[in-house]
Structure 1
Amino acid sequence: MSKPFTSVWAREPRRPRSSGLGREQIVAAAVEMLDAEGLGSLSMRKLGARLGAGATSLYWYVANKDELLELAMDEVWGLVEVPDPDRTPWREVATTTAYGLRVVLLEHPWLANLLGRMPMAGPHAFAMSDRLRRAFVRAGFTGVDVYLASGTLMGFVLGQVIPEIGVRQVTEDGTYDPASMVAVVDRVAADYPEMRADFRQTVEMDPSAARAMAFDFALLCVLDGLAARLAAADVAGKSAEAAAQERG
């Protein structure tokens, strides 16, 4: 049986108690803990101790840990820079948003584990989505294509950054040694000398620079593809209009 949808955003926030501990303070502390210790380390008890309050004080504002995570997610969405689409060309809006989202995800890697599990229903998430929507409307997309274009951009960034977060975790914490990875590739890819050589060059590059270069290249391809779709739709529209005029 399906469970009814619940969300912290489904009700008005409660006023702070006389203790002075407010929801904003709780959310800020939760984000700090998530950044420092990761998703698995967050608990209402530990957060209450961090704030010098009991877990029961937190439950005045949130019903459970999931609601706290919803608030933390939306707080982080508010950090993504999205230019005003009424004053900025759509490609600049999309580019700035993509780079801003990449930075935010890398600085708050726990967020990637919540995507799809937690609703993006907070005010910051809606503000970001609306600016992207208006940018693609001004670009010339119509109907459902507006949201498909926005989803394409968001999906691209997530598809690029989530694996990057995983690579960082296994290399920076010492789980895998790059030199041993090269040795394994040399052995298992013996039949592919060109790819082995390319892999060696990639490993020798600065990892951050290599990932940034890959992101740059792929983002340009995505935006060029969206622009080409707009141009094709414009040509098709003009052709249909010309044909209608000839028939008339």
Structure 2
Amino acid sequence: MLTREQIVRAAVAVLDAEGVNGLNMRRLGAHLGSAASAMYHHVQSKDKLVVLAADHVFGEIALPDPAGADWREAAASLARGAYAMVVRHFWLIPAMSTHLIYGPNKARFDERCLTVYESAGFTESAADQAAATVLMFVIGAAQGEAAQAAWLARLRRSGADAEQELREITAEIVEIAQDFPRLRVRLGSVAASPPEDPFEFGLHTLLTGLESHAARG
């Protein structure tokens, strides 16, 4: 007999492969070897299932002990965990633009973020702003990789040749960049030597700024 947990886990697998547009009760039923109507005994709608799946993947983020680590390291650990989770589940970004994501796992993540900042001396208001700012940075930083994964999922659904599409798009990007000297130089330098990890650079800069802001406050 199916359980809600089984359905949610299966929904995550379908979302990981097909994205939000590829999820429907019929496909989910086929994935589970069950009739689509059986899904509705546990989940009211596709929208509710997307919310449940999103909350489920928030549970993948390891939550550091705020009492056992420097606050910046704890905050960085939470940010890195969230970033890795969003990259694994590219569909979460478009889901967050159309659904209000909530649930016990998301609540635990939010609570731990606030605990870390408050334990560092941030006021309640400043902790709220810090946690929201870091999460916005994480989502923005993951956007590129998530967009590429979503693009590949769309190509899979259409049956297109992903490698050929990528070669053609890359050639167009290189051709366009030739008219822009800074972009042209950077394309060459990236090919020769990959730059510093932009996520780590941005995270370090952001936490340094938050630390400075809290000290002034």
Please give the TM-score of this superposition, normalised by the length of structure 1: 0.76
Deviations 1:142-170 (A, max 9, x none): 13111100011101111111133224656
User: Partners of 2:9 and 2:34 in 1: how far apart?
Assistant: 15
CA RMSD of aligned residues (A): 2.0
The runs of at least 4 aligned residues of structure 1 exceeding 6 Å deviation read none
Mapped contact 2:86–2:142 kept (Cα < 8 A): yes
Confirm whether residue 183 of structure 1 aligns to residue 175 of structure 2: yes
- Tell whether the 8 Å contact from 1:29 to 1:47 is kept in structure 2 after alignment: yes
Match of residue 114 from structure 2: 133
Partner of 1:200: 188
The structure, 1 or 2, with the larger RCO (C-alpha pairs under 8 Å, 6+ apart) is 2
Distance in 2 between residues matched to 1:176 and 1:133, nearest whole Å: 41
The 1:26–1:49 alpha-carbon spacing in structure 2 relative to 1, beyond 3 Å, is same
Q: What is the percentage of aligned positions where both structures have the same residue?
A: 33
Give 1:209-248 correspondences, 5 Å limit: 210=195, 213-233=197-217
CA distance in 1, matches of 2:68, 2:201: 26
- Of 58-67 and 166-175, deviating more is 166-175
Aligned counterparts of 2:49 and 2:151: Cα–Cα separation in 1:
28
Distance in 1 between residues matched to 2:85 and 2:13, nearest whole Å: 14
Bigger helix share: 2
Q: Kindly tell me: are residues 180 and 117 of structure 1, through their superposed partners in 2, closer, same or farther at Cα, counting changes over 3 Å? A: closer
Q: What is the alpha-carbon distance in structure 1 between the residues aligned to residue 50 and residue 192 of structure 2?
A: 39
How many residue pairs get aligned? The number is 206
Larger Rg: 1
Residue type of the alignment partner of 2:211: A
Could you tell me how far apart the structure 2 residues matched to 1:232 and 1:108 are? Answer: 37
**CA spacing shift, 1:169–1:28, aligned 2, 3 Å:** closer
Report Cα offsets for 1:199-225 as digits up to 9, x if no partner.
32124445xxx4x71111111100100
Tell me the amino acid that sits aligned with residue 224 of structure 1.
T
Question: Residue 198 of structure 1 aligns to which amino acid in structure 2?
Answer: R
In 2, Cα distance between equivalents of 1:54 and 1:169: 27
Q: Which structure 2 residue ranges, 5 or more long, are not aligned?
A: 156-161
Residue 32 (1) aligns with residue 13 (2): yes
Asked if structure 2 preserves the Cα contact closer than 8 Å seen for 1:182 and 1:200, the reply is no
| TM-score, with length taken from structure 2 | 0.87
Query: Where do 1:66-145 residues align within 5 Å?
Result: 66-145=47-126
Q: Given residue 183 of structure 1, which amino acid in structure 2 is its aligned partner?
A: E
Report the Cα distance in structure 2 between the residues aligned to 1:170 and 1:176, rounded to whole angstroms: 10
Selected match of 1:158 from 123, 132, 139 = 139
1:75 and 1:196 map into 2 onto residues whose CA distance is 42
Q: Does 1:23 align with 2:4?
A: yes
Are the equivalent residues in 1 in contact too, given 2:61–2:85 (CA < 8 A)? yes
Take 2:59 and 2:106, find their aligned partners in 1: how far apart are those partners?
7
